[in-house]
Structures are given as C-alpha cells and as structure tokens.
Amino acid sequence: MITVTVTEEYHFSPQKVWDKLTDHASYKTYAPLKDSLLMKEGVNEKNGLGAMRKIVQSDSLYFLEEITVFDKYLRFDYLIRETSSSLKHFGGVITLEKTEYGTKVQWTSDFELPDASPGIQRATKSGSSKMFKEILIGAKKVLESENGK
C-alpha cells in the first residue's frame, strides 16, 4: 500500500480554510488541474457528506470521489469510487487543527497500484504528494489574496 501525507500551515481560522477546501468545484481555479466539478450535492450541505466530486487531472486521468465523512471545521474523508487509472483507493482524509497562528491541514491518502512496477509506484507516490501540496498551497494563496495579505 502507498500512503501519501502532506501538511500545510495557514494563518487563517479553521472555518476559512474549511470553506475553501470543501468548495470542491473551485480546486481548478488554484490547482494544476484540467477541471474540478461537483457532480452531486451532499445530503445536508452542498459539499458535505455524500457529495460527489470529479477531479480531472488531464485528458486521460480523472477521479470520481465521494465525501464519506464530513465533520465540519475538523475533518472530511473521501473515497475514489471511479478512476481512469488502475489505482485502488482505500481512502483519503483531510484534517484541520487549530493552532496558535491559525490552522494546520494534513492530507493523507492510501492507495495501491496493483500491477505497477516499483518505479511507477514511486513516481505515483511522488506525483500525488506534489499534487496534494500544490492544492493546499493554491488554496492558501487564494485565501491570502482574498484577505489582502
């Protein structure tokens, strides 16, 4: 199994960071993605539990993800329900922790590439880590620009 974990610190409240990271359709505006779409609204909140988002990384790579846990301002989990790759996903978790200076976000995802060589697995782990980090940094830059920092 491959585990990818990235963290980022924000000088904003958990509520502001949460609102940005759970706006699934906006990822494409600040991350190197071809598209991000909200395919189905959640049960009690638009981007909440049961929501389905589609992350399109390129013409040949997409992920259809379901929000499986939605603990407002603290944590949301997702599971890839469909993908154009051979990836088998065991779950992703994004947690927010209030700190003295703002909010610490940790993003962890567990998956397998059943038939991939060790080199492909290492490259996928590295690429996934880079993508998650770019999404978190992109969200931070948008928050900073919205708040005049």
pLDDT digits (tens, 9 = 90+) for 54-86: 999 889 999 999 999 999 999 999 999 999 988
Which architecture does CATH list for 2-146?
Answer: 2-Layer Sandwich (3.30)
What span, in angstroms and rounded, lies between the C-alpha atoms of 2 and 73?
27
pLDDT value, residue 104? 98
Give me the residues of the chain with pLDDT under 50, please: none
d(C-alpha 52, C-alpha 37), whole Å = 9
pLDDT at 148: 64
CA-to-CA distance for 69 and 103, rounded, in angstroms?
A: 20
CA 3 to chain centre: 14
Single pTM value for the model:
0.92
Q: What confidence score (pLDDT) does residue 114 get? A: 87
Question: Which residues 6+ apart lie within 8 Å of 139 measured at CB?
Answer: 17, 20, 21, 30
**pLDDT given at position 67:** 97
* pLDDT of the residue at 149: 57
